[in-house]
Copies of this chain bind each other. A is one copy, B any other.
């Protein structure tokens, strides 16, 4: 078992959905990533909060064994995002984005954390992602997320960041935007040529695709009937994926496939509750059970199994 570092945004969100308005719940890529990763390995979190950030949230992180010692407390207010989801939860519009203390965020990695082997760079300005990497000793694996805002706004900085990471975790539409092609297998090849040898394309209710070492893995999505809040699904996917890899402390085709399933499992729990409510109560037993459900969901007879079936029938 190894350990991981998560750097990203820490936020207070106000979420409008079909159930009502959820005022000032906790959010941000680092929060979701850290809680997801902490299901598997010890996690340290780096981010900035303002004076209004609830101590109860820090206590929640600590109760999960997350090292919160490198959360910076700055004068002012915490990054605040307010958004509204469409009835079917497939689209969201931002009502308000107040950067507050996040506007001046400069991630500082304390010496004790610089040799953390597994690093998750949450979706923040690519220059900040690069700054993190410049402070790290040689990590075993760096996973980064990004979004359309950086793809169109800071393409040069993004390209520099991509050249330095191992795994890019990205939404399907953002993969198309960044690669400039619609076809996803082609887009993945283009993204790999930009730097990351491993590309994971998140497709929401359609699962995820893993491109690695010339192979493709298609992970199903768990058919959740009661999606409540998709906020943080992508971040918890990335956090759990990295946490699962860190817990095996091995990165190869097989461990990556398992990690993508663990990412999908944890994201499927995340969306079942508002903010971190489900993510922070899920147990390792819940995760194991749903991992097994993913295996059943995706299972069919391989050609080898089919050949065996045929032999059995002939013997009868």
Contact = CB atoms under 8 A, between A and B. Distances in A.
A17 to B, nearest CB: 14
Given A218-B221, A220-B220, A257 B299 contact: yes
A254 interface: yes
Interface stretch (A1-9, A106-114, A145-153, A300-308): A300-308
A188 to B, nearest CB: 8
Contacts of A215: 296
Contacts of A298: 217-218, 220, 298, 300
Nearest to A256: B300
A7 to B, nearest CB: 28
Interface string A277-302: 00000000000100110111111111
A293 to B, nearest CB: 9
A314 interface: no
A295 B220 CA distance: 13
A185 interface: yes
B184 A301 contact: no
A223 interface: yes
Interface residues of A, number: 43
Contacts of A306: 258, 291
A136 interface: no
Nearest to A296: B215
B288 A295 contact: no
Contacts of A219: 300
Contact of A302 (B185, B221, B295, B301): B295
Contacts of A203: 206
Contacts of A302: 292, 295, 299
The 6 closest A-B pairs by CB, nearest first: A218-B220, A88-B182, A295-B302, A206-B206, A185-B223, A257-B300
